[in-house]
Amino acid sequence: MNKELEHSFVEQLQKHQNIVHKVCRLYTNNADAHNDLFQEITIQLWRAYPKFRGEAKFSTWMYRVGLNTAITLYRKSKRRISTQEFDAVEFKIKAEEYDDTEEQQLKLLYQAVHQLNDIEKALVFLYLEDKDYREISATLGITEVNARVKMNRVKKKLRTILNP
Amino acid sequence: MDELELLKKDWKKDKTEYKNYSDSDIQPMLHKKSSSIVKTLFYISIAELVFWILVNVIPFFLSSGYKERMDQSYHSPIFVGLTALSIIVIFGFVYLLYKSHKAISTTDNAKKLMESILRTRKVVKYYVAFNLIMIFISIPVSLYLEFNNNNVFHDQVEAFNSKEMLILYLFTILLGGVFLLVFWLFYKLIYGILLKRLNRNYQELKKFEV
């Protein structure tokens, strides 16, 4: 592929890299895994780039490829710490240190989100990114009504994780 | 307050707690090797194609006795028919595999992407199933050809009493069965591990269709 294409891709990815970082933040739980997934998403974005014709915004297109990589294509590397170990730690923190300060609450929220399954995380991610149900349904391939129903269940599930 | 709203507020702050990659950090990443399941699936498919071609071809080159007998077998229309079918299937498989791999696109929606990957896996599955069925058929067929062409074997089998015949039948079925079982377990293991997460996520999305 030519240098010009590579240059414009790198430039755009550099500008919007936070989107990739945010996907990695939800789907991984340590720095090594984060970097691994970032690398894989970058490869997948670059491969899909020649077909990107600017019909959608570069960032919108990134959401789709990024999430697809995290949910479907990415194979967890061996370096990654198993989720089991991570979950056990979370529960301990939750029981011992719960208090009402916002910071603490946020920490627990992020931990709770990590306990969701891959599809639920995708819903949360798109919700946090202010995507409407039309876009959520188009990204995941489910109907808008189902996206709404699923989102409500995710909220409920989060509540249950936070207040067992 | 809605839990997610609190999270969203924090999410939007856009604090950069991650490493901010520069252009020169990103550029080499483009040329690194992908470890995606599509790539692994592709390599496995190619390995399977090569494996089954070798299974059919290697004995031909290794043993001259086998070669002679094979030459003789080509007089049998059943054998020629099965060989022709195998060749057609191999070409068909390569074509379908190419087509299904081309159809995998990361810019599709998640469900469609998963379906494309699973379809590719199905192409390989049918190819493997075809080969297993061929093995299952070829064991009795080769025994039958051997019976007609090999006088020593012919006389031996002719002399069998009914009990010995039963043992021969059972042995043939058992051999075919063991082959099938070993391969089935092997494939379950390979694809089970590779596609476990994908299958789980696909089921999760599919649950909403009902």
Local confidence pLDDT in tens for the 164 residues of chain A: 578 889 999 999 999 999 999 999 999 988 888 999 999 999 999 999 988 877 778 888 899 999 999 999 988 754 444 444 444 444 444 444 555 677 788 888 888 999 999 999 999 999 999 999 999 999 999 999 999 999 999 999 999 998 87
In a domain, B17, yes or no: no
Residue numbers of the domain that contains B64: 37-209
N residues, chain A:
164
Residue B9 lies in a domain: no
CATH 1.10.1740.10 residue ranges for chain A:
3-73
**The predicted structure's pLDDT at residue A90:** 46
Q: Is the pLDDT of residue B149 over 80?
A: no
Per-residue pLDDT at B1: 52
Chain A CB contacts of B117 under 8 Å are 72
Contact of A90 with A111, CB cutoff 8 Å: yes
Which one of A61, A72, A162 has the shortest CB-CB distance to B3? A162
As a whole number of angstroms, the distance between CA A106 and CA A125 comes to 15
pLDDT of residue A70: 94
Other beta carbons within 10 angstroms of residue B128's beta carbon come to: 20
For residue B88, is it within any domain? Answer: yes
Write out the two tokens for A152: 């409500």
Model confidence at B56: pLDDT above 80 = no
Instruction: Indicate whether B31 belongs to any domain.
Output: no
How far apart CA B21 and CA B94 sit, in angstroms, is 41
Better pLDDT: A17 or B86: A17
Residue B49 within any structural domain of the chain: yes
Distances (CA, A) of B77 to A42, B65, B83, B118: 55, 21, 10, 37
Q: Is residue B30 part of a domain?
A: no
Closest partner residue to A10 (CB to CB) among B8, B26, B36 is B26
Q: How many domains does chain B have?
A: 1
Q: Which tokens go with A53?
A: 């014709």
Token pair in block for residue B128? 């493997």
Q: In CATH, what class is A3-73?
A: mainly alpha
Contact flag B197-A118 (C-beta cutoff 8 Å): yes
Q: Which residues contact B25 (CB under 8 A, 6 or more apart)?
A: none
Whether B7 and A109 lie within 8 Å, measured CB to CB: yes
* Residue B164 domain flag: yes
pLDDT computed for residue A154 by the predictor: 92
Amino acid making up residue A1: M
Residue of A nearest to B32 (CA): A43
Inside any domain, residue B5: no
- CATH 1.10.10.10 domain locations along chain A: 83-162
Rounded to a whole number of angstroms, the distance from the CA of A40 to the nearest CA of chain B is 6
Q: Look at A40 and B35 and tell me if their CB atoms are within 8 Å.
A: yes
CATH number given to A83-162: 1.10.10.10
Residues 74-113 of B with CB under 8 A from A: 105-113
Mean pLDDT taken over chain B? 83
Lowest mean pLDDT among B31-35, B75-79, B88-92: B75-79
Q: Which chain A residue's Cα is nearest to B38?
A: A73
Cα–Cα distance measured from residue A152 to residue A154, given in angstroms and rounded to the nearest whole number: 5
